[in-house]
Structure 1
Amino acid sequence: MPVLKQHWLESSMCKVAELSLDEGWADRVNHDALTENYLHHIDLVAQAGYRNLIQFSGNRRDMNPAEGMQNYETGLRRILDAAEERGVVLHMELLNSRVNHPDYLFDATILGVDLCRGIRSCNFKLLYDIYHIPFHDCLGHDHTAGNPMRCAPRFLVVTPDAHKILSGGEPHGRQHALRRDRRRIGDQRRISRKGADREGAEGAAS
């Protein structure tokens, strides 16, 4: 983390507190080691001025999802107060178990959402990877939009290969919400012109 700061870099998602992708919070055997690791790294993340720290459920190992979810919640509550006090958000990543991570427990959106509902904390969220999720969820169409202004003129580039990954080889649609709003588009053009003028001035000065 100090190396990133030296070079004016930000970390959007911090890691290394986890044991492995296979050994996570869904197995009580891992709770003591994970608790020690995460309490330490929550402090490191907060001290560095970052906000997000990744987690993994680990493998199923013949347990049913309800048992794994209860185990996860029990373990997480050992570190949740510390995360809330330090302003660190814990993100559990959903991974596909069909191709890349056989036996991974939390492999579908509904499982992660149910876990969030049980924990009920703004400091626990899901890391939603658009590569992993469509392997298990019934996605037929991706609808994207700007945020916080839904129809902000932004662009999303998706290659044919990405379409194939997202759809699992099935026909798949993608739509980006964009409303013709002369005022917003005009504001965006002015911002773009200002940026170009500033870069030009800096280039001339150098």
Structure 2
Amino acid sequence: MSKIKISRRKAIKNISLGVGAIGIGESIFASKSKGATKKSVNNLPVSLEGNINHSVCRWCYQKIPLQEFAQKGKDIGLKAIDLLKPEEWKIVQDAGLKCSLATDTFASITHGFNDPANHQKLQKQYVELISKASHAGIKQVIVFSGNRNGISDEVGIENCAVGLDPLVKHAERNKVTLIIELLNSKVDHKDYQCDRTPWGVNLVDKIGSSSFKLLYDIYHMQIMEGDIIATITKYKDYINHYHTGGVPGRNEINNNQELYYPAIMKAVLATGFKGYVAQEFIPTYENKLEALKEGITICDV
């Protein structure tokens, strides 16, 4: 079956940020004894270590109704779902999962906090979202730098800090963390400004609050920087959330792509990370939940 090509930007536009078969080796789904929670989906056992808090980005599975997706996702080891809007939170919570990362229809990758013209509108919208998230017990809200559009990296950091500062203070009072996502500007998000870890780190330092951190997207940063394990080890105190994805192609994270996720996940655990690792690849398998289950199992170290 040919791979499905879906642009995240298109998916975000369509769903407001939230949207073939390959053999699965026996070694991937081998039983694990330590701290295992055993369940069965399509007669294939899932046995998890319990060291990784598994999540998934909703937009990649938008065609599966959310209630069904949450219920079946829980059966294969999910603890949470990423990039959900306020009207979706209770559906997931009722299924016994959490919303690991909140968003809303106004969130924009291209028009973000690096442009002062966006500040007033975004601040009003994000204050409301942060308050809603806090009331619902959701701990993280996503933000974006926006595209450069000729803005220098230094000015972009300064503008983001000015625009985000009142929101970070609001997040602090509400026990919510804002996280800015690192995205590649080479393949998927041309001209996006927060496209390298040091840029994001400089912004976190500029804001200087434990309520503002990075979303380290492994797929995106492999494209922009490589050196994944060394980077996450060096900047461990800046990272509050992870996304996955196969490189190249942004499909399954198995051995048909260049990253070795078991080693990356061991490095993540070695930093003392206690947050969520969310699968964010575009599944190509006919059975999308099989692809998700495979990704969870590969990352479960």
TM-score under structure 1 length normalisation? 0.70
| 1:20 shift after superposition | 1.3
Give, in whole Å, the separation in 2 of the partners of 1:131 and 1:105: 17
Give deviations 1:29-74, integer Å, cap 9, x for gaps.
1101110111001111000011000011010001110001000000
Give deviations 1:81-140, integer Å, cap 9, x for gaps.
110000000000010000000000010000001111111100000000100011221417
Taking only aligned residues, the RMSD between alpha carbons, in angstroms, comes to 2.8
Give, in whole Å, the separation in 2 of the partners of 1:116 and 1:108: 13
Distance verdict in 2 for CA 1:103–1:78, change over 3 Å: same
Tell which structure's C-alpha radius of gyration is larger: 1
What is aligned with 1:27?
Answer: 115
What is the DSSP-based 3-state SS (H/G/I as helix, E as strand, rest coil) of the residue aligned with 1:132?
A: helix
Give, in whole Å, the separation in 2 of the partners of 1:113 and 1:102: 21
Instruction: Determine which of 81, 98, 110 is the counterpart of 2:169.
Output: 81
Matched residue count: 160
Alignment pair present for 1:161 and 2:256: yes
In the alignment, structure 2 segments of 5+ residues that lack a partner are 1-88, 234-251, 268-301
Give, in whole Å, the separation in 1 of the partners of 2:153 and 2:212: 19
Give, in whole Å, the separation in 2 of the partners of 1:174 and 1:50: 29
Alignment pair present for 1:132 and 2:220: yes
Give, in whole Å, the separation in 2 of the partners of 1:69 and 1:143: 20
What is aligned with 2:126?
Answer: 38
What is the DSSP-based 3-state SS (H/G/I as helix, E as strand, rest coil) of the residue aligned with 2:217?
A: coil
- The answer to whether the 8 A contact 2:180-2:215 is kept is yes
In the alignment, structure 1 segments of 5+ residues that lack a partner are 146-156, 168-172, 178-206
Give, in whole Å, the separation in 2 of the partners of 1:17 and 1:36: 14
Deviates more, 1:61-70 or 1:2-11: 2-11
- Percent identity between the aligned chains? 33
Instruction: Determine which of 197, 205, 227 is the counterpart of 1:117.
Output: 205
Deviates more, 1:133-142 or 1:111-120: 133-142
Give deviations 1:156-179, integer Å, cap 9, x for gaps.
x952234x2x49xxxxx94747xx
What is the DSSP-based 3-state SS (H/G/I as helix, E as strand, rest coil) of the residue aligned with 2:169?
A: helix
- The answer to whether the 8 A contact 1:17-1:37 is kept is no
Q: Aligned runs of 1:1-206 on 2, under 5 Å?
A: 1-16=89-104, 18-139=106-227, 159-162=254-257, 164=258, 166=259, 174=263, 176=266
TM-score under structure 2 length normalisation? 0.49
Distance verdict in 2 for CA 1:75–1:116, change over 3 Å: same
